[in-house]
């Protein structure tokens, strides 16, 4: 509101400019005054008076800016130099053993999960007092590489082992270099200049030395027994080389065999009545090799009539058969399963031979008929039955998965899983009672994605039975993360069959075995084995294919036996399984402190490492095992190009790509690492997609926002000169240091227990909670509105500096680029400084449990207050604490009640706070809440203005040196001892004439004038000390708020200048 003398107002044309410039919206007449009401609020008039955060640190970055910053940090914090620097430190060694990935192409998100998890804990260990031994490796041999390398070769070239091996080696080395570039891009700190490759001569020689040790101990043997066989790859496979497909569909048949010696007289059956044993199988192609029928001697079986024929099957299968056949089944007799051991039957493929019934433990009545068709060469339990009863085992399926000639022209050379099975069922269709399609779990070749078969063949095995007990005993000293996988691993290991280590392929380490060319029997000679190993170690494994068998012969065999080299290679799981002997050399311990791999390695690398180490050196090669899951899309589907849901690590970093219609957000290197820590740790299935990456981007934005704020409010803080001693800190500041100590300890605990998820969760929660929502919101007024060098402000800055330092140290293993970026904006230097400074340990003094216990009840009361009133503007509320217990805690925490009120007002985020007097013990209410009627301070925008508590800043074109706000006038007035939002003091005599625009703080101006008059009347201020302009104003202001036209006339010429 602007007041003018109505007589003179119209004479001055400048007044019409006032109406326009200052947005005068209404007016009224008051005697001889015109009262105008203005909505004008000048902008930016407080900017120079409030200490706002100032930082160039970007909260949000474009993709180009992010890429540029990542590249700058990667250059300044070179992972090769960083690894070398930490390795040269004279500290205890922490060994992280890298399970070698396949050198078979570009990296995928599974690589990112594995390598980033390893790097997180490697960096933490290096920061916390260790030097880390982390030698990366690659598995370069085997079917995965061979298939890709020979994909473009013609059939003739594929039969040339020298050419195949050359092409495979080139392919593998190229893949190693490509993957290494990606790993470095992800800020993986490792010994990249000295990786181990399974194709290196050193590695191959060491592997064959381990093989020799096992061979000499009698743990390696050759046997004819069933193995998983891949017709598509033409080689044996280990359990770890299989993928189990849940939706595999098989044609299951109920097949009947004629029983020849069932005692018919029991049921008075006629000689012409046929009695059949009914079996059920999901692999009908094996019916051609039926050797026996197995039963469970504990089950109850029956003889039942179906139509005009009699069938033997388990009682538990009656309902299933009724539902399937839709026929009446009449039970004629029941008997114990042991009764079947005396019976025989004939197979339609071999009608001249009577075959036995055998009791076996693997028989169940949960599926099928309770009678199990048994083929000794095509099932592991079947083979065990043959061994138990001394039966001969023969296989009539060749390496391509086709029936051999022994089965006759009708089946010869037909593929057992397709046309061969169809021909067999057609030939013996009279023996089929029923058919059905069954969807079940079935093993596939992990590379060709084709179903495998079980097929007996002569292979080389490691006798795992002799190693299991020692291996299981060693596992008692190993920690698994998550812990529940320890028992799962032990159970898988306990059930492991003999380890087939021979493969019928070319690209790999040769089996250093020689055979008598005439008898085809292996030659047992340690000297011959050692000579072959020596030559391979000297010239590389290619010599096995370049040279003839005689070139490896020692004098003992040169003229006596014609040698034949093995044409097989060692299982690649044996390749990688002996990596402990190369990557973990004797100097740096043969036992890894940590190994990190996917859950599938419970059947793979974890076992091969353990078994080879126990066999060769009688010790476990690892102390701690961390497992992670597998990457799927957000719907839980496996990723594939055909489904259009494939996401690469580069796409996550750059955001280049989309899933369906959704664009992928660009999250940078730290975003990729944050996704791994948030989503990949402690999960069986790891989701990735636009939504999960958007969550990562939002989390990263929250972290960057808080760190930007910390950088901004610390821009004028020098730790050496401005820090406040702990004893001088305010109570809330000390409590924040206590929370910081607890946070650092919890982060250390998370890292020590190898939980990246726990670490990142605690970091994000601490950033968003104690730092941002609690402490920064509580002390923001002190940071902005206190004098720059005041104790209150420096106390906050001291704490925030420690919070910032500790926090970037805590997140550095997770987000190394972000940590170094903050350090750069903080100190102006880019490099691995956070990493080299090491783990930040809080001072013991900060762990103040007494203070925490006393402040916690007040914080709980604060929480209840904000829960009830937090949705409204709490700065317009006044709170009075009426609880005796809270008051006692306040008195213990603060020696000065004024300090307590000041800090608690900030803590509760209210405009006013009082501590009640005469509180009764029976008071139920912790606090009373009321509204504060005083107007809001336009400078700090937090506190409600009370008399002289906050100084009124200038408005409109009023000169900034307004008389009512100078200390000299109120130097004897106690209220002004705690002025908070005052302007800089200037000499009162320099004050120019002014026009005053009335605003919500009008009452404060009135009171200011009242104070001046009171001071004069009391004789505390002499009239001669007051400038003429002020005396004129006071004397002529009967209502103490009117300015006369003469003041307007004197000021009108200055309107344009004063507006700015």
On whether the CB atoms of residues 215 and 529 are closer than 8 A, the answer is yes
Same domain, 292 and 398: yes
Place of tokens 């069954």: 438
- Which residue range(s) make up the domain with 515? 201-219+506-570
d(CA 836, CA 808): 13
Write down how long the chain is.
1060
Domain C-terminal end among 881, 915, 931: 931
Would you state the pLDDT for residue 229? 93
Q: Does 537 fall in a domain? A: yes
d(CA 900, CA 893): 8
Closest CA to 132 of 186, 191, 211, 79: 191
Same domain, 566 and 585: no
Q: Does 675 fall in a domain? A: yes
852-865 pLDDT tens trace: 999 999 999 899 98
Closest CA to 3 of 43, 38, 40: 38
Decide if pLDDT at 1005 tops 90. no
Quickly list DSSP for 517-549.
TTT-PBP--HHHHHHHHHHHHHH-TTHHHHS-G
Same domain, 718 and 593: yes
Q: Does 789 fall in a domain? A: yes
Domain C-terminal end among 804, 833, 862: 833
Same domain, 767 and 682: yes
**Pairing status of strand 220-230 against strand 309-314:** unpaired
Inter-CA distances, 524 with 458, 519, 565, Å: 17, 14, 13
Decide if pLDDT at 931 tops 90. no
d(CA 928, CA 911): 14
Would you state the pLDDT for residue 620? 93
Decide if pLDDT at 1032 tops 60. no
Number of domains in the chain: 6
Would you state the pLDDT for residue 555? 77
Inter-CA distances, 169 with 137, 150, 175, 181, 183, Å: 15, 11, 10, 19, 21
Give 102's DSSP letter.
B
Decide if pLDDT at 1059 tops 70. no
Domain C-terminal end among 833, 866, 887: 833
468-498 pLDDT tens trace: 999 999 999 999 999 989 999 999 999 888 9
Percentage of the chain surpassing pLDDT 70?
A: 82
Would you state the pLDDT for residue 423? 94
Same domain, 413 and 282: yes
Decide if pLDDT at 965 tops 80. no
- Determine the average pLDDT of the residues in 907-915: 84
Would you state the pLDDT for residue 910? 85
169-211 pLDDT tens trace: 999 999 999 999 999 999 999 999 999 999 999 999 999 999 9
Would you state the pLDDT for residue 171? 93
Closest CA to 333 of 359, 306, 353, 305: 305
Decide if pLDDT at 698 tops 70. yes
Q: Does 302 fall in a domain? A: yes
What is the pTM assigned to this prediction? Answer: 0.81
- Residue 857, classified by CB atoms within 10 Å of its CB into exposed (0-12), middle (13-18) or buried (19+), is middle
Decide if pLDDT at 994 tops 80. no
Would you state the pLDDT for residue 1020? 55
Same domain, 291 and 362: yes
Instruction: Please tell me whether residue 1010 adopts helix, strand or coil conformation.
Output: helix
Would you state the pLDDT for residue 1009? 53
Dihedral (CA of 20, 21, 26, 27) sign: negative
Inter-CA distances, 385 with 289, 359, 372, 393, 963, Å: 15, 9, 12, 11, 108
Q: Among 758-767, 823-832, 1013-1022, whose mean pLDDT is lowest? A: 1013-1022
d(CA 787, CA 980): 8
Quickly list DSSP for 918-941.
S--TT---SEEEEE--SPBPTTTS
Decide if pLDDT at 981 tops 60. no
Q: Does 601 fall in a domain? A: yes
d(CA 234, CA 237): 10
Quickly list DSSP for 833-871.
HHHHH-PPPPPGGG--HHHHHHHHHHHHHHHHHHHHHTT
Most confident stretch, 46-50, 268-272, 373-377, 864-868: 373-377
Note the Cα 686 to chain centre separation in Å.
Answer: 8
Instruction: Please tell me whether residue 2 adopts helix, strand or coil conformation.
Output: strand
Decide if pLDDT at 35 tops 50. no
Same domain, 540 and 607: no
Decide if pLDDT at 962 tops 80. no
Same domain, 678 and 819: yes
Q: Report residue 785's pLDDT band, with 50, 70 and 90 as the boundaries.
A: confident
Give 481's DSSP letter.
E
Would you state the pLDDT for residue 883? 83
705-764 pLDDT tens trace: 999 999 999 999 998 899 999 999 999 999 999 999 999 999 999 999 999 999 999 999
Q: Provide Rg for the chain, Cα atoms.
A: 43
Inter-CA distances, 998 with 7, 35, 403, 686, 961, Å: 21, 10, 104, 63, 17
Q: Among 331-335, 690-694, 1006-1010, 1016-1020, whose mean pLDDT is lowest? A: 1006-1010
Closest CA to 261 of 352, 192, 343: 343
Same domain, 351 and 283: yes
Decide if pLDDT at 258 tops 60. yes
Instruction: Please tell me whether residue 129 adopts helix, strand or coil conformation.
Output: coil
Of residues 500 and 15, the one with the higher pLDDT is: 500
138-161 pLDDT tens trace: 999 988 888 888 888 888 888 888
Inter-CA distances, 331 with 254, 295, 302, Å: 18, 19, 7
Q: Among 587-591, 652-656, 909-913, 980-984, whose mean pLDDT is lowest? A: 980-984
Would you state the pLDDT for residue 263? 87
Q: Does 149 fall in a domain? A: no
d(CA 1042, CA 566): 113
On whether the CB atoms of residues 305 and 250 are closer than 8 A, the answer is no
Same domain, 733 and 882: no
Q: Does 179 fall in a domain? A: no
Report residue 232 as tokens: 């598509």
Would you state the pLDDT for residue 46? 63
Q: Which CATH number fits the domain that encloses residue 385?
A: 3.90.740.10
Inter-CA distances, 27 with 33, 817, 1038, Å: 10, 61, 21
Q: Does 945 fall in a domain? A: no
Decide if pLDDT at 974 tops 50. no
1014 Cβ partners below 8 Å, 6+ apart? none
Report residue 1036 as tokens: 């002529």
Which residue intervals of 13-98 are DSSP H helices? 14-21, 63-76, 79-87
Same domain, 449 and 524: no
Same domain, 512 and 627: no
Q: Report residue 869's pLDDT band, with 50, 70 and 90 as the boundaries.
A: confident
């Amino acid at each position: 509101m602007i007041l003018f003398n109505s007589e003179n107002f119209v004479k001055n044309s400048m007044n019409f400019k006032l109406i326009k410039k200052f947005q005068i919206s209404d007016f009224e007449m008051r005697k001889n005054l015109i009262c105008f009401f203005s909505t004008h609020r000048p902008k930016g008039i407080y900017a120079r008076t409030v200490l706002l955060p100032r930082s160039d640190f970007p909260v949000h970055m474009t993709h180009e800016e992010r890429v540029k910053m990542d590249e700058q940090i990667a250059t300044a914090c070179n992972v090769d130099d960083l690894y070398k620097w930490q390795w040269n430190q004279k500290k205890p060694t922490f060994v992280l053993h890298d399970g070698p990935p396949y050198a078979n192409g570009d990296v995928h998100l599974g690589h990112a999960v594995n390598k980033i998890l390893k790097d997180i804990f490697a960096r933490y260990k290096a920061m916390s007092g260790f030097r880390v031994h982390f030698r990366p490796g690659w598995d370069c041999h085997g079917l995965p590489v061979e298939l890709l390398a020979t994909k473009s070769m013609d059939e003739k070239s594929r039969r040339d082992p020298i050419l195949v091996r050359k092409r495979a080696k080139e392919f593998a080395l190229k893949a190693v270099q490509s993957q290494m570039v990606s790993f470095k891009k992800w800020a993986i700190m490792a010994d990249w200049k000295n990786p181990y490759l399974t194709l290196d001569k050193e590695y191959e020689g060491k592997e064959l030395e381990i093989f020799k040790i096992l061979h000499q101990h009698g743990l390696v043997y050759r046997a004819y027994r069933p193995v998983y066989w891949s017709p598509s790859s033409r080689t044996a496979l280990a359990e770890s080389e299989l993928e189990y497909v849940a939706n595999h569909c098989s044609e299951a048949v109920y097949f009947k065999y004629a029983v020849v010696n069932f005692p018919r007289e029991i049921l008075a059956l006629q000689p012409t009545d046929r009695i059949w044993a009914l079996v059920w199988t999901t692999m009908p192609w094996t019916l051609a090799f039926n050797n026996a029928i197995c039963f469970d001697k504990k089950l109850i079986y029956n003889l039942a009539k179906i139509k005009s024929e009699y069938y033997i099957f388990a009682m538990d299968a009656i309902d299933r058969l009724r539902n399937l056949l839709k026929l009446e089944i009449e039970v004629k007799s029941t008997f114990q399963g042991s009764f079947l051991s005396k019976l025989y039957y004939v197979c339609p493929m071999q009608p001249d031979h009577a075959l036995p019934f055998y009791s076996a433990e693997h028989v169940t009545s949960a599926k099928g008929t309770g009678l199990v068709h048994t083929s000794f060469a095509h099932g592991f339990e079947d083979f065990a039955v043959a061994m138990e009863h001394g039966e001969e085992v023969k296989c009539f399926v060749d390496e391509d998965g086709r029936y051999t000639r022994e089965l006759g022209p009708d089946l010869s050379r037909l593929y057992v899983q397709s046309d061969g099975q169809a021909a067999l069922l057609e030939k013996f269709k009279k023996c089929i009672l029923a058919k059905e399609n069954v969807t079940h779990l079935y093993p596939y070749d992990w590379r060709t994605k084709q179903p495998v078969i079980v097929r007996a063949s002569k292979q080389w095995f490691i006798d795992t039975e002799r190693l299991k007990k020692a291996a299981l005993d060693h596992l008692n000293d190993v920690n698994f993360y998550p812990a529940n996988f320890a028992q799962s691993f032990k159970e898988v290991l306990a059930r492991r069959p003999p380890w087939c280590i021979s493969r019928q392929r070319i690209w790999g380490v040769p089996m250093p075995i020689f055979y008598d060319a005439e008898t085809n029997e292996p030659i047992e000679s340690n000297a011959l084995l050692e000579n072959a190993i020596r030559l391979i170690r000297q010239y590389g494994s290619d010599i096995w294919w370049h040279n003839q068998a005689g070139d490896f012969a020692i004098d003992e065999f040169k003229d006596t036996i014609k040698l034949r080299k093995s044409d097989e290679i060692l299982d690649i799981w044996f390749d990688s399984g002996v990596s402990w002997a190369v990557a973990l050399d004797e100097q740096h311990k043969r036992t890894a402190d940590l190994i990190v791999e996917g859950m599938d390695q419970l059947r793979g690398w974890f076992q091969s490492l353990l078994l080879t180490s126990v066999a060769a050196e009688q010790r476990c090669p690892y102390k701690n095992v961390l497992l992670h899951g597998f990457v799927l899309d957000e719907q839980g589907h496996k990723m594939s190009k055909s489904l259009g849901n494939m996401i690469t690590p580069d796409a996550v970093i750059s955001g280049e790509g989309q899933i369906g219609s959704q664009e992928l957000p660009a999250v940078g290197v730290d975003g990729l690492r944050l996704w791994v820590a948030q989503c990949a740790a402690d999960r069986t299935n790891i989701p990735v997609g636009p939504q999960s990456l958007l969550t990562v981007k939002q989390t990263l934005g929250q972290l960057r926002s808080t760190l930007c704020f910390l950088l901004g409010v610390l821009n004028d803080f020098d730790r050496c000169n401005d820090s406040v001693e702990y004893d001088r800190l305010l109570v809330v500041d000390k409590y924040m240091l206590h929370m910081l100590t607890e946070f650092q300890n919890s982060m250390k605990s998370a890292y020590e227990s190898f939980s990246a998820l726990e670490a990142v969760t605690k970091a994000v929660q601490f950033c968003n909670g104690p730092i941002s929502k609690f402490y920064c919101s509580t002390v923001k007024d002190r940071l902005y509105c206190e004098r720059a060098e005041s104790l209150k402000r420096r106390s906050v800055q001291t704490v925030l500096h420690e919070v910032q330092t500790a926090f970037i140290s805590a997140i550095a293993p997770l987000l190394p680029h972000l940590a170094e970026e903050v350090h750069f904006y903080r100190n102006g230097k880019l490099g691995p400084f956070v990493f080299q400074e090491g783990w930040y340990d809080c001072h013991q003094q900060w762990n103040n449990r007494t203070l925490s216990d006393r402040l916690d009840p007040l914080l709980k009361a604060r929480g209840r207050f904000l829960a009830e009133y937090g949705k409204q503007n709490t700065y317009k509320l006044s709170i009075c604490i009426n609880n005796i217990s809270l008051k006692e805690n306040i008195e213990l925490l603060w020696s000065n009640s004024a300090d307590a009120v000041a800090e608690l007002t900030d803590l509760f985020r209210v405009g006013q706070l009082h501590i009640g007097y005469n509180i009764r013990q029976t008071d139920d209410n912790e606090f009373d809440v009321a509204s504060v009627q005083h107007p809001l301070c336009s400078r700090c925008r937090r506190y409600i203005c009370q008399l002289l508590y906050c100084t009124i800043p200038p408005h409109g074109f009023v000169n900034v040196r307004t008389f009512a706000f100078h200390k000299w006038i109120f130097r004897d007035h106690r209220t002004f001892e705690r002025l908070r939002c005052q302007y800089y003091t200037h000499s009162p005599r320099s004050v120019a004439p002014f026009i005053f625009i009335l605003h919500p703080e009008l009452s404060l101006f009135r009171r200011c004038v009242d104070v001046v008059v009171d001071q004069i009347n009391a004789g505390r201020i002499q009239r001669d000390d007051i400038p003429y302009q002020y005396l004129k104003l006071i004397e002529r202001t009967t209502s103490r708020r009117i300015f006369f036209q003469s003041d307007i006339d004197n000021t009108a010429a200055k309107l344009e200048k004063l507006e700015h």
